[in-house]
Amino acid sequence: MSETLNKNVNLFTKNKYELVMSNIPNLTIIPDDELDLATFSTSVKSVQLPNITLKLLHSYWQHEDQKHPNPQGARDTNTLTVTWTLDSKFLNYIIFAAWAQGSRYGLPARGGREEGLEPLLRDNCIDRIDVYSLDNAKMPFAKLSFHRAFLTGISNLDLEFGDASVVTFQTTFEYEKFGLTVQQKLPDGTWAIEPLKVPVVSKTN
């Protein structure tokens, strides 16, 4: 770990990243097999990674304030914001707008659960959004994952006659949990993205 984090480290530039979505809720008439998620990745303009906040517990004794970390797990996470470049047919905006409209009116997206099970409104989410940091060779070095991301807002579209500039819009997401993985060298000499730490699973009798 020390080798990968402390040696041969260069300054990071803002454009060396990639956003990948595992799926997207589809509430349009467009068939699922015609939704190419790769086109969403190429239309990403910017990503604002959420700040990570921690709460503390306080123990007071006389005039002293002893502070303790307050384990909160995946509760009280912050918002992920993604800015997209609008495509020429408004398709990426329409997909998000239909998702928002369906969720507002209680319409679950099809294909959100296992085959044979009735779709649930709770599954109107992206199962996982991965944001990769890339090295100079555009190979992934680290990955921040947001699990079960729910759309919470779409910004306005600024359209204007006589202006041929690129149009962008923002989407905000809340998520149930996040994880961080980093590149590590494997025994066979290859490199892979692996979790920083394997979660401890409690055993019950």
Backbone angles phi, psi at 6, to 5 degrees: -110, -20
Q: How many whole angstroms from its chain centre is CA 36? A: 18
Write out pLDDT tens, residues 164-192. Answer: 889 999 999 999 998 888 776 666 766 66
pLDDT, greater one: 84 or 196: 84
pLDDT, greater one: 162 or 103: 103
The region, left, alpha or beta by phi > 0 then psi within -120 to 50, assigned to residue 174 is beta
Mean pLDDT to the nearest integer, 132-142: 79
Provide Rg for the chain, Cα atoms: 21
Residue 202 pLDDT greater than 50, yes or no: no
Q: Work out the mean pLDDT of the chain and round it to a whole number.
A: 81
pLDDT at 182: 79
DSSP designation for 76: T
The answer to whether residues 109 and 125 touch, using CB atoms and an 8 Å cutoff, is no
pLDDT, greater one: 67 or 202: 67
pLDDT at 204: 44
Residue 2 pLDDT greater than 50, yes or no: no
> Taking the alpha carbons of 36, 42, 43, 44 in that order, is the dihedral positive or negative?
positive
pLDDT at 1: 43
pLDDT at 53: 82
pLDDT at 199: 42
Write out pLDDT tens, residues 65-109. Answer: 888 888 877 787 889 999 999 998 888 999 999 999 999 999 888
Q: How far apart are the first and last CA of the chain?
A: 35
